[in-house]
Amino acid sequence: MASYDDNNVFAKILRGEIPCDKVYEDDHVLAFNDINPQTPTHVLVIPKGQYVSSDDFFNEASDAEIAALFRAAGKIARERGIVADGYRILANCGRDAHQEVPHFHLHIFAGCDLGIMIRPNR
Distance in Å, CB of 119 to ligand 5GP, minimum: 15
Work out whether strand 41-47 and strand 87-90 pair parallel, antiparallel, or are unpaired.
unpaired
Contact between 66 and ligand 5GP per CB under 6 A? no
Contact between 100 and ligand 5GP per CB under 6 A? yes
Tell me which of 32, 57, 87, 104 binds ligand 5GP, using CB under 6 A: 32
Q: Could you write out the DSSP letters of every residue in 84-120?
A: TT-EEEE---STTTT--SSS--EEEEESS---SS---
105 catalytic, yes or no?
Answer: yes
Task: Report how far apart the first and last C-alpha atoms of the chain are (Å, whole number).
Answer: 25
Tell me which of 24, 34, 80, 111 binds ligand 5GP, using CB under 6 A: 34
Binding site for ligand 5GP (CB under 6 A): 9, 20, 32, 34-36, 44, 92, 98-101
